[in-house]
Amino acid sequence: MEELRNPGIAPARRLAILGGTPAFAEPLHVGRPNIGDKGQFMARVSDILDLRWLTNNGPVVREFEQRIADHVGVKHCVAMCNATVALEIAYKAVGFAGEVILPSYTFVATAHALQWQGITPVFADIDPATHNIDPAAVERLITPRTTGIVGVHVWGRACDTEALADIAARHGLTVVYDAAHAFGCSHRGRMIGNFGACEVFSFHATKFVNSFEGGAVVTNDDALAERMRLMRNFGFMGLDRVEHLGMNGKMPEVCAAMGLTSLDAMDGIVAANRRNAETYRKAFQDLPGIDLCQFSEIERHNHQYVVAEVDGDTCPLTRDELIAVLHADNVRARRYFWPGCHGMEPYRTLQPDAGAGLPCTQRVSERVLVLPTGQSIDSQTVQTVVNIIRSATECADEVRAALTQAASGGVSP
């Protein structure tokens, strides 16, 4: 085949899936960390070393907690070593037991943190318009064993917190939010972090604000915050007094130093994410069957994820075919959160029939394509990524033939 026609600004080139040279020499990742001001970070690390206070609720962690609490407008922030441990501690501290209802359409940590402590995750379907847990589905799954609900603010877009609060109040349940994606986002003018009994942020390297590894639980409940502080530090109240069952969930000082540096850089990160989202939006406008998730302009949003939905009926290629095309060109686009937690172990074995009640989860997880963004991606790069997709859809038959040949052991894409 001759070189492909490539509308847009990049010069015409042949897709790698069809034998061309990959568009990017190095992998272009979803989740490439934003670094912030290296000098500022190094200065903080130097201070930490001079002070010889490396972990155990040191001054940098306390400053990080205060900055998070101030930004969210919440009374307490308890920083942890990562969001998975923060979820485990939050679930235990609120008294979850028996069964807890959560979406299957989430990162598997939301469910693992329940299963890890012998609580049964009960998977509810999502609203396909928001990708968030469907309150009506939650209500149908409540049994005498249900103790709580976990809502996940997927892509930083808030759950229907009002409906979930109403269900919880009527059934005597506790709501915890997995807000791993939602630091810096608001709901009805109120910052996420203020809903439910408590909310959990992730500060993993790939997140909007990153502390290498890290997480935090935020809450307005004094007693709950105190309990979680104890649980994070083996239950110690003094030098040798243990007052609670605990574990080691502490955030090291160096992680908090990165967290502070990342908080300082937040405005620039949002600006880059917004610019990329807008470039993707314009470039995708006339592509049939591919829609970008839009986020409300009246709320605050971090735009950390660029999420496209590929409609296999109207787009000439399926989501998975596009993923293969992009990967061949070194664009490591992701299909979060395929196949949903219920399709992963141990849930697939423990709950083999769960999928039957999750048609929207199934459909959304087969359509979503998450694309690279962040400060390491410029508009030209976004344009090239979209041009790869456009070129592929313009010669879909040829692409499909190449994929079939590769699958049958021919040329590897």
CA-CA distances (angstroms) from residue 57 to 50, 79, 234, 264? Answer: 17, 9, 13, 21
Residue 355 C-beta: closest distance to ligand T4K, Å? 20
Which one of residues 23, 74, 102, 109 is an interface residue with ligand T4K (CB under 6 A)? 109
Q: Is 32 in the site for ligand T4K (CB under 6 A)?
A: yes
Q: How far is the CB of 286 from ligand T4K (least distance, A)?
A: 30
Pairing of strands 76-80, 368-371: unpaired
Using the minimum distance from each CB to ligand T4K, give the nearer residue, 28 or 292. 28
Among 15, 61, 152, 256, binds ligand T4K (CB under 6 A): 152
CA distance 188 to 203: 24
> Does the CA dihedral 255-261-263-266 come out positive or negative?
negative
* Choice from 6, 34, 104, 106 touching ligand T4K (CB under 6 A): 106
Nearest to 301 by CA among 270, 327, 330, 256: 270
Q: What is the DSSP letter of 205?
A: T
What are the beta bridge partners of residue 217? 78, 200
Q: Is 344 a residue that touches ligand T4K (CB under 6 A)?
A: no
* Alpha helix positions (H), 13-160: 38-51, 59-72, 83-94, 109-115, 135-140
In the chain, count H helices and then E strands.
14, 14
* Interface with ligand T4K (CB under 6 A), residue from 180, 225, 257, 371: 180
110 binds ligand T4K (CB under 6 A): yes
Q: How many residues does the chain have?
A: 413
Residue 77: closest CA among 160, 212, 148, 179: 179
Q: Looking at 76-84, 95-103, 245-253, 345-353, which segment touches ligand T4K (CB under 6 A)?
A: 76-84
Torsion of CA 179, 183, 187, 189, to 10 degrees: 150
Q: Report whether 127 contacts 90 (CB < 8 A).
A: no
The one among 178, 253, 309, 321 contacting ligand T4K by CB under 6 A: 178
Note whether 199 binds ligand T4K by CB under 6 A.
no
Q: Site mask, ligand T4K, residues 208-227, x = CB under 6 A?
A: -------x------------
Give yes or no for residue 252 binding ligand T4K (CB under 6 A). Answer: no
Least distance (Å) between residue 8 CB and ligand T4K: 26
Least distance to ligand T4K, CB of residue 132, Å: 11
Residue 335, interface with ligand T4K (CB under 6 A)?
Answer: no
The reply on whether position 31 binds ligand T4K by CB under 6 A is yes
Quickly count: other Cβ atoms within 10 Å of residue 377's Cβ.
23
Dist CA 85 CA 399 (whole Å): 43
Is 84 among the residues that bind ligand T4K (CB under 6 A)?
Answer: yes
Asked if 393 interacts with ligand T4K (CB under 6 A), we say no
Site residues for ligand T4K, 272-331, by CB under 6 A, read none
Q: How far is the CB of 370 from ligand T4K (least distance, A)?
A: 9
Interface residue list for ligand T4K (CB under 6 A): 29, 31-33, 82-84, 106-107, 109-110, 152, 178, 180-181, 202, 204-206, 215, 336
